[in-house]
Amino acid sequence: MSKRVLVSSIVGVVALGGVAAAGLAIASTETAKKLTVDNTSARYVPPSADLTGSLTFTADVRDDSGIRGLKVLAWPASSGLDPTATEMRSTENATCKSTSDTASRCTYTLKVTKAEAAELAEGTWHISTLATAKDGDTEFTPRTSEFTVTR
């Protein structure tokens, strides 16, 4: 192999490495700015003889611009419902409290009476979310979390 071919091959590898590194740097910057919904948990407690039941959903929401809000919808898997981001805009709001300039802990709580619990479909339920950042970005997750309804 001639020295000229070897040198140009090495230059090409170094150039490609530089382009790849720049691409990774841009991708990691974009990832850091992305609106995220993490650390989710959902808990259903059926009503008892003396106490009202509840559904509680919590999530950590982050974006570099801060968090405007989180919409939440709980729905039974057996219903075949498949909510869209557009439909989520008219669902209920979670209560979000800032934990930093870029993050909030959001909680959605719903009280469930005995009469309401009797009408709930037993089995797996899903929770869909639509997070909105202060800069207007949105992140729709059709199945953010799940829980089980039992009687």
> Who wins on pLDDT, 25 or 78?
78
**pLDDT, position 5:** 42
Judged by phi (left if over 0) then psi (alpha if -120 to 50, else beta), residue 131 lies in beta
Rounded distance between C-alpha atoms, residue 111 and residue 25, angstroms: 46
**pLDDT, position 11:** 39
CATH homologous superfamily, domain 36-149: Immunoglobulins (2.60.40.10)
Rounded distance between C-alpha atoms, residue 38 and residue 74, angstroms: 17
Q: Mean pLDDT across the chain, nearest whole number?
A: 85
Rounded distance between C-alpha atoms, residue 76 and residue 41, angstroms: 16
Tens-place pLDDT, residues 4-36: 443 344 434 334 344 444 444 444 445 455 999
* pTM of this prediction exceeds 0.75: yes
- Work out the average pLDDT over 74-90: 95
- Kindly list the domain boundaries of the chain, sorted by start residue: 1-33, 36-149
Assigned token pair, 109: 């709580």
- Work out the average pLDDT over 52-61: 97
Rounded distance between C-alpha atoms, residue 149 and residue 139, angstroms: 27
Return all residues near 87 (Cβ < 8 A) that are at least 6 apart: 73
Closest by Cα among 96, 90, 97, 85 to 128: 85
